[in-house]
Amino acid sequence: MIRARLLAPLAISALALLAACQQPAEQAETPNAASAASAQAGAAAAPSEAAAFQAAWGSAPPVLYRTPDAGADEAITYSRATLVPLGGERFALVSEGQGGDGHVSAGALAIHYLTRTPAGFTRTGAWPNIVDGGSFGSPPQWLIRTDLTPAPALVTEVGGTWQGYSCSWSDVVELTPERPILRTDGIPVAYDDSGAKEDGAADMEGALMPDIKGQSFSVRYSGDRTALVRYALRGQRYEATTSPDLLTC
C-alpha cells in the first residue's frame, strides 16, 4: 500500500523498469505471477545478480553489516539486491537490508556501483546504509524514476504508525555517473489519522511529478489537504520553494 502511493501516472514507465529488474525469487513468491515465460526470464537474470552481489559485498548473501559506531543490536543484514542499469556496462546494485525487530529499529538500503567486464563485475564504489528504513527493521520501499532528474533517481518511502497516526516520507537519491547523491529527503507523501479519531479523520497523499530535469520537480497533494509544492535545485539539493500547511505526524 505504501509503495502504491509513490506511483503517479507519469511514473508507470519507471515501475516497468523496476519490475524488469526484480529477482526471480520475488516473482516465484507472487501468487499471481504473470506467466511461466516471465518466470523463465527472471531465472535467466539470476546468475548476473548473484555475481553482482558477490562483487559488491565480497561474499554471497546474507551479509551482516555494522557501522563502526553501531551497537550489537544495530547490525543490518543484506540478503536481497537488484541491478539497476546506468548505461553501457555500468550498473547500480541496490541491496535491501533488514535491521532488528524492535519498533525503533530501522533497516537500510545500500548502493554499489559496478562495471561489467568479460570476466564479471568489478566494484567501483560502495555506499552501505545510504538510506535508512522504517520501523521494525524494515528497509525502505523504493522504485527507480527516470523522469525526475537527469540520471535515474532512486525514490524511497518509509513510514509507520504512532498512536493511530500513520505517515510516510520519501527521499530522492540521484544515481549520477560518479556517485549516488541524496537530492532531498523527508518529503511528506502520506498521512492518515483514522486510527486515532472516530470522527473527523483526515488523510492526504503526495505524488512526485516531473518538471524540468536538472532544475525542479513537484509534489502534488490530494485528499483532505491539497497543494502543489515545487522543489528547485539549490546547489546539490532540491529544496521546497513554498511551505504549505500539510498534514503530517
According to the model, what pLDDT value does residue 44 have?
Answer: 36
As a whole number of angstroms, the distance between CA 75 and CA 150 comes to 34
C-alpha dihedral over 6, 8, 10, 14, to 10 degrees? Answer: 20
Return the C-alpha cell found at 176: 549520477
Domain range holding 28?
Answer: 2-240
Say if pTM beats, i.e. exceeds, 0.85: no
In the chain, how many domains are there? Answer: 1
- Say if 14 falls within a structural domain: yes
Per-residue pLDDT of the chain (249 residues; tens, 9 = 90+): 334 444 333 333 333 333 333 333 332 332 333 333 334 433 333 458 999 999 999 999 999 998 766 555 678 999 999 999 999 999 999 999 998 776 667 789 999 999 999 999 999 999 999 998 876 788 999 999 999 999 999 999 999 888 999 999 999 999 999 999 999 999 999 999 999 998 999 999 999 999 999 999 999 999 999 999 999 999 999 999 999 999 989
According to the model, what pLDDT value does residue 7 have?
Answer: 38
Greatest extent of the chain over all pairs of C-alpha atoms, in Å: 63
- The 3-state DSSP class for residue 42 equals helix
- Say if 249 falls within a structural domain: no
According to the model, what pLDDT value does residue 156 have?
Answer: 97
- Say if 248 falls within a structural domain: no
- Say if 76 falls within a structural domain: yes
- Say if 226 falls within a structural domain: yes
- Say if 245 falls within a structural domain: no
- Say if 96 falls within a structural domain: yes
Q: Is residue 142 exposed (0-12), middle (13-18) or buried (19+ Cβ within 10 Å)?
A: buried
**Buried b vs exposed e over 97-133: b needs ≥16 C-beta within 10 Å?**
bbbbeeeebbbbbbbbbbebeeeebebeeebbbbbbb
Write phi, then psi, for 223 (nearest 5 degrees): 110, -140
As a whole number of angstroms, the distance between CA 52 and CA 41 comes to 18
| Cβ–Cβ under 8 Å, residues 204 and 221 | yes
CA atoms lying within 13 Å on the CB side of residue 238: 30
According to the model, what pLDDT value does residue 160 have?
Answer: 87
Q: Which of 46, 106, 124, 125 is nearest to 80 (CA)?
A: 46
Q: What is the DSSP letter of 11?
A: G
According to the model, what pLDDT value does residue 34 have?
Answer: 34
- Say if 153 falls within a structural domain: yes
